[in-house]
Amino acid sequence: MGSLLIVANLKSYKNESEAKVWVSEFIKQRAVWDNLDGKEIVICPSFTLLPFFSSSFSDTKIKIGAQNVSPFEVGAYTGEVNAKQIKDFATYVIVGHSERRKYFGENDSLLAKKTILAKTFDLTPIYCIQNNDAQIPEGVQIIAYEPDFAIGSGNPDTCENASKIAKILLEKNPEFRVLYGGSVTADNVSSFTKAEGLKGVLVGGASLDAAEFIKIIENA
């Protein structure tokens, strides 16, 4: 069976003081998430907040992820944050989110480079795809199926369709761990986590509120 992976993608919203409020709200509910059986939680804040989140959860089972990684190694690449730097604070990294593809022109060959570098530095990629035709780089194990129309729209895919996509991916590689993302809420999360083939969720908007994310964890 394996455990469920519940990932919060905090996107580019919070500054430090807002992040402190989020973390203190989340920590107040420690009883809910501290000894979860069969659920793994990953929180992916902005780069600037990685040290804060990492130290806030260092004595817990919560894992930290980055939302992006440079396609370059250490070096003269102004403005980039590379896998070695991320590794100091995180164990996961989201690669190929549809917002990266759409607004930053990231394509399959660039995403393959990011994946290789993430793995070189022992970061586990959470590789996002929008449909089952997408290229998936070698070495990827966690795939988040996130159809464009469902992201931030309040209009999630059906769990039947998400399950169908998961099964197609699993036929390609039974070792894949397939997550669903796109307008996941506390109300609909269990329909996805119970759907055949799915092993978790990637939550954007609904994770921005710590209390709502706690409910998602409880209901998953």
Q: Which is nearer to ligand PGA, 41 or 206 (CB)?
A: 206
Give Cβ neighbours of residue 9 (< 8 Å, ≥ 6 apart). 44, 67, 94, 97, 181, 202, 203, 204, 207
Residue facing ligand PGA at closest CB distance: 204
User: Which residues are near ligand PGA by CB under 6 A?
Assistant: 9, 146, 151-152, 181-184, 202-206
Q: Is 97 a catalytic residue?
A: yes
Q: Which is nearer to ligand PGA, 75 or 154 (CB)?
A: 154
CA angle 73, 83, 42 (to 5 degrees): 165
At residue 114, φ and ψ (nearest 5 deg) are -60, -40
Write the DSSP symbol of residue 155: -
Q: Is 16 a catalytic residue?
A: no
Give whole-number Cα distances, 24 to 61, 68, 81, 162, in Å.
Answer: 16, 25, 27, 34
Give whole-number Cα distances, 119 to 51, 124, 217, in Å.
Answer: 20, 6, 27
Q: Provide, rounded to whole angstroms, the least separation between the CB of residue 37 and ligand PGA.
A: 25
Q: Provide, rounded to whole angstroms, the least separation between the CB of residue 94 and ligand PGA.
A: 8
Helices (H), the chain: 16-28, 30-33, 50-56, 83-87, 98-104, 108-120, 159-172, 189-193, 210-219
Q: Which is nearer to ligand PGA, 9 or 70 (CB)?
A: 9
Q: Which is nearer to ligand PGA, 170 or 208 (CB)?
A: 208
Q: Provide, rounded to whole angstroms, the least separation between the CB of residue 84 and ligand PGA.
A: 25
Catalytic residue from among 16, 25, 146, 196: 146
Q: Provide, rounded to whole angstroms, the least separation between the CB of residue 209 and ligand PGA.
A: 12
Catalytic residues: 97, 146
